[in-house]
Structure 1
Amino acid sequence: MSNLSELGEFLRVRRAALQPEDVGLRNYGIRRVPGLRREELAMLAGVSITYYTRLEQGLSNNASEAVIEAIARALNLTPDEHIHLMNLARPVKGKRKTAHKPDFARAGTIRLIKSMASTPAVVLGRRSEVLAWNRLGHRLVAGHLDFDGPNRPATRANMTRMLFLDEHTRELYARWQEEATRAVSSLRLLAGATTDDPELTELIGELTVRSPEFSSLWAKHPVVNCMSGLKYMHHPEVGDLELNFEVLTPPDESRHRVLMYTADVGTPGYVALQLLGSQMRQDVAGDPEQVGLVSATG
């Protein structure tokens, strides 16, 4: 789907989510369809109804930044939604879609997460594929999968795919719906900023077809840049964990992310992480190289 089509769909979904009273307008009786009318949104943004209609229909690829800013204000968009709207409205001309080369975590990033033996860490690529993980990160989020999986680009685990299609991963999250919404929100933001990635398009298509829950969430166009927060897990080895998560983004063009999990000292989550680490160390005892991390680099 083109960015212009995505732009139109995003505008329609956000317009339908607003009531007249949300934007200071009077509501005169029952409406045939939910949300603001096109003419109301156009009036609030200070653009003609004809022009706004063309935007929703995906027929205009030259909207000025001032117009998009005005529409964002009229829709009461959050900062993340605002960025997403600007990305969708940005025209891309003459750019061919080409296959990307296999991606690999930087050697420095690998050294970083290898040094954090007591902190679960996962390095994610631009499509949420797992590029690397340390031993504790693997044990926490995907202990049922091959630890060496990130070495094989063609069959790497993908955190978003696992969340919707892998039974063990679904059972890992005590608040699965919350986690699913967060994952789709992040993927929406990424997709809006990426117009030349056929593998990302393929992932979205696969999840739309194979997961009704993903399809339903995707159609709602949630957009949030999830950089920190809480994750509620029910781990098969150590039970319930409430963990903080932080996402670090390297200052380069790789779009890699380092996802780290921590727990406050003395909390049940902290105790559970300590127990999980102890069990992991027992399993790899006698093989020091395995205590760190395995990942392909390039």
Structure 2
Amino acid sequence: MSLHVIKAGLQSSLQGVPYSGHRHIGMPAAGAADCLSLAFANHLVGKEYGALAIEITLDDAKFSIGKKSTLALAGASSFLRINGSDQPKYEAVAVKPGDIVHIGSAKQGCRSYLALSGTFCAQSLLGGQSTYLPAGLGGFSGRSLLDGDDLDWTDPATMPPPTAPMPAKLQPRITNDFIIRITDGPECDWLAPRSKANLTESVWEIGNQTSRMGISLNGRPLQITGLANMHSAPAFSGTVQCPPNGQPFLLGPDAQTTGGYPRIAQVIRADRHLIGQLRPGGRIQFVAITPKRATEIYREKLVQLTRWAGNIHLW
């Protein structure tokens, strides 16, 4: 035993890079909902940006360490405590057998990522190991962690050198209010003119129907003037659909690969990690930009991030 789960919390699972190249057989991307926080935690313990870590949702979680390691925490958690003593987030912390790691609940935002210097042993398929919960694939037996679970990891061949703490100015500011940039979706012209303006002029409240599969948005209903029933078409994490009730639905990493609702917008790649921090009761305002500007923003963001985190990739 390398890590014993004392309290798993609301939903904790092993997540890393998404599955790639399998959408034609109906396999969604899955992977970390907030890939940026995952990358930061992994970098602090000397690992690749997409290595498996424990994704912790909303609630607090508690673990017992079974062997010497280094860990780091990034994301929405309110605190990190080792044996009851507060430790800094966004900083590598050494732990030893018997240490109790307590991850605080998220007061703002939704998800945190606990990375360890060892490599988690996990179920492998289709070239990946992230947990796809709806189908029970990958990760720890394809499911969320439960109280009493024991996770194993393999130690690195050589312990990576200590990584400097993440500069405070680079640490993300996690709140419950987000501005998220979008480009037009394939069916954006099906929106009535007033509704198309309303999509970006309104502040949308995040509904209770919120999970890794998708997020319901509540506000002034949108009106579709195009084809009432469309054929199923490709959909991706970050796709904004408009169901018949006019309340948009934002797809998450575990969402289906196709859908039959009009795709009115797409969250830009540079902002997609924010989807992982959306929680019920929070608020979103969309800002429309062009695909060309979306590409420029992504490249600019990578330049800023690589100065500290080295090679990094957002999905």
| TM-score, normalised with respect to structure 1 | 0.28
Higher helix share: 1
Whose Rg is larger?
A: 1
Higher strand share: 2
| TM-score, normalised with respect to structure 2 | 0.27
